[in-house]
Structures are given as C-alpha cells and as structure tokens.
Amino acid sequence: MTPSPIPKALSTFLRHKVNALLIGGQACILYGAAEFSRDIDLAVMVSAQNLDRLRMALEELAAKRIFMPDLSADVLMRGHACHFRCQRTDVKGLRIDILGVMRGLDPFPELWERRQEIELPEIGRIAVMGLPDLVKAKKTQRDKDWPMIRRLIEADIYRESSNPLQERICFWLTECRTPDLLISLAARYPDIASTIVANRPLLRYAMEGNQDIIQELLREEEDRQRDLDRQYWAPLKAELEKWRNENEGN
Amino acid sequence: MVEDEVLEWYALSPVERFEESLKLWEVFVLFGGDYDPEPDSQSPFDIFET
C-alpha cells in the first residue's frame, strides 16, 4: 500500500507557517467538484518573510524546480507560476505549483480574508481559497477547468439550497453554468435574478426557461474568458520562452 | 440531471471527500499512475518542462 503524499506535504507547509491558500484540484475535492488530484497548487502571500518560510518547507520536502522560472517575489508578482517536484522518499514525485497572483483575482490579502478554513485529520487547519474566488481562478483557457466550475457551483447549490443567504443566491445566479439549474434558480428567486440580469444577460432567458439560448450564451461567456486568459498569458509565455532559451544556451 | 453517485459525493463533508480522495491514491499507484499532469496543450506551462 502506498499512502498519499498529500497529507505530509500539506502538514509541512503548515508547520513552517507558510501563508498559503489551497487552490486547484485539492481545493476542488474539498468543495465537491473533484474526486482526485495528483498534485498540490498553492496561492501564496508574496512577502520576503513568507517566501523564506515557503523555501524552508520546499527544502524539507526536497522539492526541486521543474520548470522555469526560479521562485522569487518578482516572478510571482508578475503572474508566473513556480513548479516543483518533491524528492524526499515519502513524498517522492509529488508536484507542487506555487502562484502569487492570478488573472481576475484580488490581491492575496483580500483572498486571505475570504478564505475557508478546514480542519483535516492528522494535518491541521488548512486555509482554502474561498469558493467565489476559486471559481474565478478556474476561468482559464483550458477545457478541463470549465466542467470543474460547473460542478463547484452545483455542489454548493446542492449543499446550501435549503436556506441560502441573498449573497449566496447572487453568487449562484452570477456563476452557475448548468442550464436547468439556472432556470430553476431564476424561477425560485425572480426578484434577485432581475437585479443581476444587466450583468448577466442570459438570466433573461433563464427566467423564460429557454434552455437552448442559455446554452449558447454560456458558450459565449466561456469563449470570452478563454480569450482573456490567452491574452493574459501571451506576454508571460513569451517571457518563459525567452528564459528557457537563455537557460538552454548556458 | 445530476447522477446519484455525484449527489452522494456532494453530500459528503469536505473532510470525508478528502479522505476518500486519499484512498483513491492507492488505486492510482496500483495502476501505475503518473505524478505529472496529463499532457494539456491548452496549459500555458505545457512546453516548459526542463
């Protein structure tokens, strides 16, 4: 039997008091949108002290960089991700990806204020990116992130639908990507839907129960976000290629 | 419509889901699972492994 290396790695970050939010697949598991993830993705506070703690935790895991660039405050603040693979025997092979800022998301201190904390047995109290922020973080150019967004919202509606606060209903109406659920939300909360329709025109069709047009407009929303993500990454990819070429030249 | 199996997953607590995902690790390893993500040509990092 091979135990998962995830608990050991997470407890190492906790022990070193790294100011970090769990994002990516592990966060999606906790929120119900995924069943399995083979790596750990963290959004970290970019400060000299926190990066020192992070480096110590990575050192304890014998984590080596596997992509450009090297970990630094500068690259994290510019939007790059730093990628590591653990070498220590009990966590060997585990991938850890570190981000400092993400497209469309607030600066880390605000994300931290909105975090969820979950006590995980034999690990400790883990800080997880708040659900609305995680949904925004998942609006990428990658196909695989979009079904995840749909399930993040579905799971939240399933859990919280008995007596939701208005803020939560607004979140669902703004982010839900399941046509039949949108129709049912709009029917159940027509007044709130009316206040949001200016920002999300497809709600008009949800109120009419027109599933085909909702589907079409959901696709347009997705395409728009994918384009924005590609635009965001274009200069960063160019920079990565430049570093890689320089690295290969050395 | 959401499948029953998915609804059961939604109904678990975060801790229960985390523990279930750890159990899947054993299956993942048993079947020779790779720690690296699946190749994803849409990922900004797809071509940068050193």
Contact call for B35 and A3, based on CB within 8 A? no
Q: What is the pTM of this model?
A: 0.94
Same domain, A111 and A185: no
Look at residue A245 and tell me if it is in a domain: no
Tell me whether residues A35 and B21 touch, CB distance under 8 A. Answer: yes
Quote the radius of gyration of chain A (alpha carbons, Å). 20
Domain membership of residue A63 as a residue range: 6-135
Q: How confident is the model at residue B50 (pLDDT cuts 50, 70, 90)?
A: very low
Residue A48: Cβ-neighbour burial (10 angstroms; 0-12, 13-18, 19+): exposed
* Claim to verify: residue A91 and residue A170 sit in the same structural domain: no
> Which stretches of chain A score pLDDT less than 50?
none
CA distance A50 to chain B (A): 25
Whether residue A124 is found in the same domain as residue A149? no
Task: Look at residue A247 and tell me if it is in a domain.
Answer: no
With respect to residue A118, please indicate whether it lies within any of the assigned structural domains.
Answer: yes
Alpha carbons A151 and B6: distance in angstroms, whole number: 9
The helix (H) or strand (E) run that includes residue A125 is strand A124-128
Classified as helix, coil or strand, A197 is coil
Q: ipTM of this predicted complex?
A: 0.91
The shortest C-alpha distance from B12 to chain A (Å) reads: 8
Number of domains chain A contains: 2
Same-domain check for residues A128 and A150: no
Say if A78 falls within a structural domain. yes
Q: B18's torsion region: left (phi>0), alpha (psi -120 to 50) or beta? A: alpha
Contact A120 B15 (CB under 8 A): yes
The answer on A130 and A11 residing in a single domain is yes
Q: Are residues A151 and A58 in the same domain?
A: no
pLDDT in tens, A89-125: 999 999 999 999 999 999 999 999 999 999 999 999 9
Q: Residue A25's domain is classified under what CATH number?
A: 3.30.460.40
Judged by CB atoms closer than 8 Å, whether chains meet at A68 and B48 is answered as: yes
- Quote the DSSP letter at residue A71: -
Is the Cβ–Cβ distance between A73 and A89 less than 8 Å? Answer: no
CB-based contact, A247 to chain B, within 8 Å: yes
Q: Does B10 touch chain A (CB under 8 A)?
A: yes
Where does the pLDDT of residue B46 fall: very low under 50, low under 70, confident under 90, or very high at 90 and above?
low
pLDDT of A207: 97
The reply to whether A95 touches chain B by the CB within 8 Å rule is yes
The answer to whether residue A79 neighbours chain B at the CB level (below 8 Å) is: no
Which one is predicted more confidently, B50 or A121?
A: A121
Instruction: Compute chain B's Rg from CA coordinates.
Output: 15
Domain match, A163 and A88 both: no
* Contacts for A21 with CB less than 8 Å, ≥ 6 apart: A27, A42, A43, A44, A108, A111, A112, A115, A127, A128, A129
Tokens of A37: 């993830």
Clarify whether residues A197 and A158 are in a common domain.
yes
Same domain, A106 and A158: no
- Chain A 3-62, residues with CB within 8 Å of chain B CB atoms: 3-4, 6-7, 26, 29-32, 34-39
For the record, the structure tokens of A30 come out as: 């906790």
B39 has a pLDDT exceeding 80? no
> Would A19 be classed as within a structural domain?
yes
Average pLDDT score over residue span B8-20? 96
Same domain, A226 and A108: no
| For chain B, percent of residues with pLDDT exceeding 70 | 70
- The answer to whether residues A15 and A120 belong to one domain is yes
A79 and A176 part of one domain: no
Instruction: Flag whether residue B16 sits within 8 Å of chain A, measured between CB atoms.
Output: no
Does residue A57 lie within any of the structural domains?
yes
